[in-house]
Amino acid sequence: MPRPASEIFGTGATAEEAYDLLTVDVPVDGWLAALTAARDDLGCTYFDWLSAVDEPGTGFRICAHLADVAHPGTVRRLIVRTTVPHDAAALPTAVGVYAGAGWHERETHEMFGVDFTGHPHLVPLLLPESFEGHPLRKDFVLAARVAKAWPGAKEPGESEHGGPKRRQMLPPGVPDPNEWGPLKGQLPPAPARPARGARAAGGARAAGAAAGERPVRRTRTASAGSASQQAAGEAAEAPAAAAAPAERPARPARRTRSVSEGSASQQTAAAAAEEASETAPAAPAKEAAPRSSDAPWHHARPAFDEPEKTPEKASEPKPESKAEAEATPEPEPQPEQDSPRNGTQDDQAGGGTP
């Protein structure tokens, strides 16, 4: 707004803007002045609609929605509101400012009962002339289910389906047909449902207890069963006791043992295994690898023990087979060569010949 709301719309006007919508509240005597200022000063030449809201305890809030459409692509919206009391619902007509308000004021008049003084043709618009009341008021009685039965079986007993009938619940706004409508005073009063305390007091008096006190309820566990089950059990116990056989001799106490001890055969096998382990020589313990406290990863240990390696015996030479011996060729003898050295040696050995 270019100026404060009180300067544009008059004394007592307040303005509030939210979601690109300007809402101005004015008193009843400033209604026409506010609409004129909206049209002339703010350029809201387009009249959209006029209606009312029934506020219980406050009155009827009349609202007029206006708009400025002079700027292409931009629409500035304005709502002018005022409140009239329920007992004096009257407001001057706005037909002289906005001619389109005539139709909306006629609708508001017949739906809420607000009188627009100075209206040229304030007659019913939507409802028939014989209709009584204003249907959009909060105190208007919803007489549809009083004058005509509701179609369909909405609750048990409301139609001819033969189901059990329960206490009917009247929805909000629906009066008692014996108090309002064409059958007023002609129906018998609806039976009142007795209170829980009254039923409890009546049952206590029938049992001989004091009025208003409930008799003590007999308690039984789930194993005891119901009353009929207890009677059947007592009837079965009587013949069973008469035909009970002689007592059998007592059975000797059974020796108890835990699961870890096993059966007798398992205990015998375990004892034999223990004796064998005691007689067998103890295997030498392996020396643990040195470990360093500050760096244990320097002496890594395998995840499992490696199997011990047995020393292999020295392999003995295998005798050659006869076939291999025959297959091996013998070396050929080489011819001897005479040499002066060999002759000298023979002469020396034999002593020489002439």
pLDDT, tens only, 281-310: 665 555 555 555 565 566 666 666 666 666
Name the strand (E) or helix (H) holding 51.
strand 46-55
| C-alpha distance across the termini of the chain, in Å | 167
CA 116 – CA 91 distance, rounded (Å): 5
pLDDT digits (tens, 9 = 90+) for 118-165: 999 999 889 998 888 899 998 887 766 666 655 555 555 555 555 555
For the chain, give every residue range classified as CATH 3.30.460.80: 5-117
Using alpha carbons, select from 70, 80, 64 the residue that is nearest to residue 15.
Answer: 80
Q: Largest alpha-carbon pair distance within the chain?
A: 191
3-state secondary structure of 164: coil
- Is this model's pTM higher than 0.75 or not? no
d(CA 157, CA 240): 53
What does the pLDDT look like over 245-268, one tens digit per residue? 556 667 766 666 666 666 777 777
pLDDT of 272 reads: 78
Contacts of 58 (CB under 8 A, 6+ apart): 83
Helix (H, G, I), strand (E, B) or coil at 181: coil
What contacts 15, CB < 8 A, 6 or more positions away?
A: 1, 5, 9, 22, 23, 24, 25
Instruction: Give the domain 5-117 fold.
Output: Beta Polymerase; domain 2 (3.30.460)
